[in-house]
Structure 1
Amino acid sequence: MAGLGPPAAGDPARIGPYRLVGRLGQGGWGTVHGALDDAGRRVAVEVLDPRAAADPAVREAFAHRAEALRGAGTVCAPHVLDADAAAEAPWIATAHAPGPDLGAYLRAHGPLDEDALLAFAAGTAEALARMHAAGAVHGDLRPSRVLLTPSGPRLSGTGAPRPGADAAADVAAWGALVAAASTGRAPYGPDGAPDLAGVPGSLEPMLQAAMDPRPPARPDAESIYRGLVDYAVDQDIRAVPTAELSGTLREVLAVLWAGPGRAVSAQPEEDWGAEGAEEAAATEPTTAPAEPAAMGHVPGTRLAAVVAAAVIGTTGAGVGGLYAARTVTGGSPAPAPSPSPSPTPELGGAEEVVDGIVALFEETDSYRVVEEVDEGGAEPLRQERVFRADPDVFLSISGGGPTERVETVWLPDLQAADRRRFSPGAPPGSAARYTRLPAQSVGSQEFTREAGAAPFDDLAESMEVVERTQERVDGRDTTRFSGTFTFTPSPPGTEAEHGFTLWVDAEGRPVRLEHGEDVREPDHTLEYSGFDGELDTWLCGAVSGVPQVDEAALVGTSEEVSCASARAAAEAYLAMPDAEKSGTGSVAEDVEGWYCTMAPTAAEAGSCSLDHPQQSQRVDFIRLD
């Protein structure tokens, strides 16, 4: 990881054999420290969050991740040097990878050129293939999780897979990542379909296959990796085991990664407080061979063959693989690249930033807020607030785990609410259905944009900022403001003086807010995401043409349900002529792996599910009539 900041009060001087010199930010498991080994080499040490360390299941997952990565033998995945999962504060040490993350690089330099893109695609595919072979999934692949080093791309940190993450989800995320690296823009269009305009014609079929909305139809990471290396080099690798392709991949990176490598190497080196400190040694040598294999002039037929084999192997002999082969072999020229993104302007002062956040909540098309409040019980109280416009729909999710889980949808235009409840321990989704309630039965004041902005209204009125620093959070560059303010609880109660820490991204949007009477142990933690249409979970927008009700809002049953995929399936189902459907009412229709059924109630018109007949992973059609 990059961006070494100062150590925080209370940080230990050493963890295991490593001397801590500062903080690199927050990883998926906890705090990531910059450290030096006894030889002065730079190391990233990720320490499991204390709350997570108290959970035996999390400790076991942490230990499994360390062992899996240690044995992966990879070029572009994190290089695990040491770990102690049995320590009071479990930790994993990885070789420090110097360089910006993909998002920062794209903002500074624009999209990767075709050679560098091929190297990037091959390197990141190798990392996933080797992780999957070792029994681990990444589960959180995005631009902020990939560092561009002088020698090639490197997945950062050790990853902490989200619930439901699997190898197929990693492959879809890889496709989106490579598309973003190619074009410099979001990989999905407004309709939720992959937006691959501007991607080189040689890679487009591979990305189409990887981003297929049907997980079983996606090729595996090993097939992708082998196909990309086979395409890049002028030699036959069919008999070479995947585990022995590391040297060939380094040849590819040595030749095709020259542009990003020079740009990254030109950046000034950070001072880690050790003379001659260098990147910690990887598990394999990184020097390039004297005579790399010929690259960049090979016909696309071999790549097409591998794509076709991978797709046909998972879906049967269908049009997917044949289409990929025809498209690549045809050699159609790649469309002109999109313009590079404009540089992000510098943030103003804290007051300007907070005022901007308040305005953001007033204007944004969507947002998601996850709040946890520690009241001293066994588990913190948790509540999510989600919003999407056109038409306005609010969702509140409270409880869960050992307590009753309640989900409430508020429809301002109808002045009505739909609610469903889950008994303690029940998984999200389950078979629970919504019941429509009269407006007076819910506190509609919490279902407003103003409720989402409430903490920032308090900050705007009373904050006193004492510190402003730059810090890495989840692989992103953020600005951190710390100070005090007067907190007004909701519902209104006694005001209290709280310490606060606010992290905002490069555009000034909130990432995380912590506050409490003791700033060292805040009892309120809020995480923010999904602004300006970037929401891809829970609230998936409205669809029309719904039988008997015309318009309905799509609401997911868990955060693992992708809005892009669910909406595409729902719209495909609704667009089908009745003559092509096998029935109506309770009969389910198979639409690209989704099973849709129309069975109207007072609150719902039907649903589409991925795991029929269990239906725990689904979107419900909430009536808007």
Structure 2
Amino acid sequence: MNPSAGPSAVAPTPDRDHLPPGVERPAKGDPAVLGDHRVIGRVARDAAGTVLLGTDTAGAASVIRVVPARLADAPEARVRLEAEADRLSRVRSLCAVAYRGADVRAAEPWLASAHAPGLTLAAHVAEHGPLTGGMLSALAAGVAEALAAGHAAGALHLALDPSRVIMSPEGPRVVDLGTVRATGQPLSPAQWAAPEQRSGDPAGVTGYADVYAWGALVHFAATGTVPSGEPTGSVPAHLAPLVGRALAQVPEERPTVLEVLRELTMGEDPATAVSGLVAAEWTGVSTPRLRHVGRPRRTVAPFLLAGTAAVLVGALIGGGALVSTVGSPVGAGGPDTDDAAAEAAGEVVEEERTGPAVAEVPEDVDAVVADAVELALAASSFTTYDRLYTNDIGDQTQTHYRYTEEPQPAMSRTVHFGPSTNGELSFGEDLAELVHFAPENTGVIGGGERRYFRDPGPGSPETEAPRVLWEEKLRTLEGLTAEGAQVTYEGRSTIGDVEIPEELLGDVDPLERGGHHYTGTFDHRFVGLSHGPVEVEFDLWISEEGHPVRFVAVGVPEPGALAENGEPRSYTQHLDFMRFDLPVDVEVPEPTEIQATRP
């Protein structure tokens, strides 16, 4: 227990409008109820499915992992899920989150565990620096106790890293125990895996892999770095020899996790020793404050304050109401004002959205943009047309993105620059496979049969996976919610005649594309250029369903640079988002069609 919090400190209970840091509102398609758990938020989405936050009938918060049907319906998958759920139900641990139930026969099976409030170890070290003294010893012992309890019940972790240890006020809490074997999916980056896990032979992976991960984790907690060989001198002397043995390359040369725990507790009863160590040494950790997400507020720019006050006074004196905010700056008056008055009078404002923010509070740009980004990230398929060009004649790059989860996850990025065409393709579980492609040289954009290869050749620039590049572009929209951004809601409108490749557009009439229209200025970085953020003028359309439709930004990243016409060289970026959750074809080659090097 954290002495600074006091023995009676109780973590605040999250609800749909008050969520912990890093947890967002449920996305489109997320279930509302799972067993006895009411879903109130989304924690993450990874290779093993979606992680949701819920509350049970008693009001206790729970974390629920939902396994997608494509994984659950694989051969023997439900047998593995059922076996792992049984193991987890038998784990009795101080420092592993408690099992809260499962339904392995549901169309999308789920497993629930207790919610531990707090930052991850990774976030804690980033914010406060490495752990020292008794705090480090308590972490090492607590994580070892959780792993030992899991191993005693037959449950391995196999994905332990700093994102799977929560720094709760009550002590360290290990999450995701058993998830890898339950879902058959890897969860952690490769640098946290034991050597035998990287060999590709699952038969050789045993509990010794968790011991290796424990050593890497303690090394990180003590130094802030991932080990690359022997432990550094920054690991305290009383832990360094044990950490070194845990990091042995040969599994059998490592101690078992129970031996690690006994050495850390010096032969005392492990449960009693770990409980006492945590009670005495676990200090300086508090429960993160919940944040209000139901009706996000945004800071009103100073020049708007006087106008806002005048509108409020006029409404109060005349008994009137604001009829429309179309054409007015976002944040100037509107529904949030009524909430503020009610809160000031001591009333509880409870208003839960049943759909996307744009359908109910389109003036609330923070909520609208958050919904748009979340919905796009969660989509099972989409296409995107990206154009970046200057006002020099013929100077433009076109990029096509296509993504689908059926019949297997796959995403392509095709770049057209003049007659040159090339790109990358990611496919397979977690989009782990990455290959490059280029057509035969026909001199025609998009012409020629594709040739796939793994090595683009010497001198070729490093290339990120298509999904990473696409998400980076998508998240530039979040700049509209940053301090200093000026946003005006223009109401609904269509975009007009915009030429988009038919293969990306689908059956939609281009003249009907549009939605809720926002304009203004904000600091934007043109992804793909080396220049930093610059102020741009933008237009953004959001569909009635909450998806991004079109984003246009125009700015001058190079002061003093001139275009051919003598005007300052300006850059324009067009991002057109389409085909969300509709059929999208992404060509995936057979293994025999992929060459080692560029032909």
Q: TM-score, normalised by structure 2?
A: 0.49
Bigger-Rg structure (1/2): 2
TM-score in terms of structure 1 length: 0.47
